[in-house]
Amino acid sequence: MLEALPWLERFRGSTVVIKFGGNAMVDAELKAAFAQDVVFLRYAGLHPVVVHGGGPQINAQLDRLGLESSFTNGLRVTTPETMDVVRMVLAGQVQRELVGLVNEHGPFAVGLTGEDARTMTAVKRFAVVDGEQVDIGLVGDVAAIDPSLVRALLADGRVPVVSSIARGADGQVYNVNADTAAAALAGALGAEMLMMLTDVAGLYREWPTSDEVIRRLTAGELAELIPGLASGMLPKMEGCLRAVRSGVRSARVLDGRVRHGLLRAFAGPVVGTEVVPDGPVEPVAERRGPVPAGRSGPVRGADRVLVAAGAT
Ligand SMILES: Nc1ncnc2c1ncn2[C@@H]1O[C@H](COP(=O)(O)OP(=O)(O)O)[C@@H](O)[C@H]1O
Ligand SMILES: CC(=O)N[C@@H](CCC(=O)OP(=O)(O)O)C(=O)O
């Protein structure tokens, strides 16, 4: 892991939003390694923000309850009954588990949903199938973000762990796709990078017939590909596009099945698929600063982490 440090130096002070997909949380060892990587980034002076998914975990719970799982364009059709399960699994199970894993290394992680401090405000989202709007129930898009709570947590040296649930101005609670939530949050925070950890090596050029990964594409190139993308990748790549179009310098899709894949992504040439804005991009150093300087030192108990994260 130490080989990542010189590369990480470039990102000191930068905010990085990391989306941990439900499909990447396949076993306990991977989840524990992910938590170590997040804490390592925090120690290297970055400001990681975790947005987690949990699609397969929601499916399993719906199945136990004898409820159906169905998706349109990669978005879960969400009845009021499904919504209760989504909220319970994301905020009560997956988020709690990740908070616990990160906090094995120090008092860093604080869990929240988009509902907390009105961090995210949702608006009802329709799927579009063959040019027609389709009602998919209580699915939300992100209408607005108030990043002040997340910023305050970062300034206090914490690691926010965010579940993609948000209330609308109508008072209704909505199920927001986690890729969508991560992208919107990255944009609102002025994050340097958005990292999406999933269960494939990146965006495949000819999925499912070939596993050739597209290494790098501009926002304009991605916008042309999006109408032809299949479920699963659709919200993810729409999220990458949204992020780079709202000022994020780099949005990446990475293989979350690789142990310590998150740190490796900082320690060398680009792995996975990278989406960059159209046109020239300012260097990292000139884009710093969503977190007030001098308020990002280690919190109490943080000294245990380097050993725990295997950094020596
Ligand atoms: N062009 C593509 N390249 C790679 N994967 C694709 C592509 N199109 C669809 N997919 C599917 O998208 C899945 C990843 O999305 P998803 O299952 O929603 O993951 P996550 O839980 O990480 O958000 C892959 O496992 C793959 O089955
Ligand atoms: C509207 C919608 O699709 N919400 C998602 C939220 C969780 C999620 O996005 O999880 P992954 O990242 O693991 O796919 C769902 O209900 O599955």
Q: Which ligand is nearest to the CA of 207?
A: 1
pLDDT digits (tens, 9 = 90+) for 161-219: 999 999 999 999 999 999 999 999 999 999 999 999 999 999 999 988 988 999 999 99
Tell me if 21 CB under 6 Å of ligand 2: yes
- Label residues 49-65 b or e (16+ Cβ within 10 Å = b): bbbbbbbbbbbebbeee
| DSSP at 26 | -
Domain, as residue range, for 79: 2-308
pLDDT digits (tens, 9 = 90+) for 283-308: 544 444 444 333 344 444 433 333 33
Read off φ and ψ for residue 198, nearest 5 degrees.
-135, -160
Q: 301 or 72: whose pLDDT is higher? A: 72
Centroid of ligand 2 to alpha carbon of 183 (angstroms): 13
For 113, the token pair is 């949903």
Output the pLDDT for position 280. Answer: 73
Centroid of ligand 2 to alpha carbon of 187 (angstroms): 19
Centroid of ligand 2 to alpha carbon of 28 (angstroms): 20
Output the pLDDT for position 248. Answer: 97
This complex has an ipTM of 0.97
For residues 23-40, average pLDDT: 95
Residues at the annotated binding site?
54-55, 76, 175
Output the pLDDT for position 282. Answer: 60
Tell me if 58 CB under 6 Å of ligand 2: yes
The Cα 228–Cα 230 span in angstroms is: 7
pLDDT digits (tens, 9 = 90+) for 219-251: 999 999 999 998 889 999 999 999 999 999 999
For residues 148-168, average pLDDT: 98
Residues at the annotated binding site for substrate?
54-55, 76, 175
Centroid of ligand 2 to alpha carbon of 98 (angstroms): 16
| DSSP at 43 | H
The domain tally of the chain equals 1
Instruction: Quickly state the pLDDT bin for 93 (edges 50, 70, 90).
Output: very high
The Cα 45–Cα 65 span in angstroms is: 44
The Cα 250–Cα 240 span in angstroms is: 8
Instruction: Quickly state the pLDDT bin for 26 (edges 50, 70, 90).
Output: confident
Q: What is the CATH number of the domain that holds 135?
A: 3.40.1160.10
Tell me if 71 CB under 6 Å of ligand 1: no
Nearest alpha carbon to residue 275 among 217, 203, 191: 217
Percent of the chain with pLDDT over 70: 89
- List, in sequence order, every residue forming a beta bridge with 162; answer none if it has no partner: 51, 112
Pocket test for ligand 2, best of 175, 180, 253 (most atoms within 8 A of CB): 175
The Cα 173–Cα 120 span in angstroms is: 11
* Coil, helix or strand at residue 202: coil
- Ligand 1 atom index nearest CA of 197: 22
